[in-house]
Amino acid sequence: MAENITGLPAVDAMLDSVVRVWVNGRRIGSGVVTPFGLFTCEHVISDIGVYRATSCSHKEIKLGDKVAIDVSKDLALLSIEENYSPQANLAPGLIAGAIVFLVGYPRSGRRLVARTKIETVGRGLIVCNDDGLPNDISGTSGGAIFDEHGELCAIFHAILGRDLHGIRTNHIKNLVNNM
């Protein structure tokens, strides 16, 4: 049974789909397990090396090769060598004003779960306000932005100024469809 962290059972059930990503023994960022494999930001896995992931409960997740990369969108997909659950499903669409949850692993090591609101939906990116977030969330790149139904609506990409930027699921779908 999932922990009651957000107060929304569908979101709480997906929290363990967000994992820590390691490259060559160093924890670099976050990733999201989906039915297609593990999605993260390309800048998280840009180094050549051995990739692995660990869950919040420190379960080791064996990662395989890079399956697809889109450097222009900072998006990467890695294969997973074993069955892992839960797997995040992709949200069909987004609207400005929607409440979303950022989930990732900052360098502090503790899982971050933060409620925020979509400010704008652009061509490929969403922008959320970062009010109320810790000052340093580096390491959260590649983490998930879930909607209130527990569906993945974006991969967390960067903080620019006071805004959080996420890569929308339409880019994830395009990457999968072009494999």
* 96-155: pLDDT as tens digits: 888 888 888 887 778 888 888 888 887 666 666 666 666 667 778 899 989 999 999 999
Rounded Cα–Cα distance for residues 85 and 73 (Å): 27
pLDDT at 89 over 60: yes
Q: State the pLDDT confidence band at 169, using cuts at 50, 70 and 90.
A: confident
Residue 60 domain flag: yes
In this prediction, residue 3 carries a pLDDT of 56
Which residue segment(s) compose the domain that 149 sits in? 99-177
Same domain, 115 and 169: yes
Residue 28 domain flag: yes
Give the residue, 33 or 132, on which the prediction is more confident. Answer: 33
CATH number of the domain that 146 lies in?
Answer: 2.40.10.10
- Return phi, psi of residue 44, to 5°: -70, -35
In this prediction, residue 105 carries a pLDDT of 86
Q: Which of 88, 86, 78, 71 is nearest to 53 (CA)?
A: 78
Q: State the pLDDT confidence band at 1, using cuts at 50, 70 and 90.
A: very low
Residue 1 domain flag: no
Same domain, 132 and 167: yes
The tokens 């797997």 sit on which residue?
A: 87
Number of domains in the chain: 2
Tokens matching residue 174:
């395009």
Rounded Cα–Cα distance for residues 179 and 104 (Å): 26
Same domain, 42 and 108: no
In this prediction, residue 161 carries a pLDDT of 62
In this prediction, residue 140 carries a pLDDT of 83
Task: Read off the amino acid at residue 32.
Answer: V
pTM (predicted TM-score): 0.87
Q: What is the mean pLDDT of residues 148-170?
A: 81
**Where are the alpha helices (H) located in the chain, listed in sequence order?**
9-12, 169-177
Same domain, 106 and 42: no
Portion of the chain with pLDDT greater than 70, in percent: 87
Same domain, 108 and 71: no
pLDDT at 172 over 60: yes
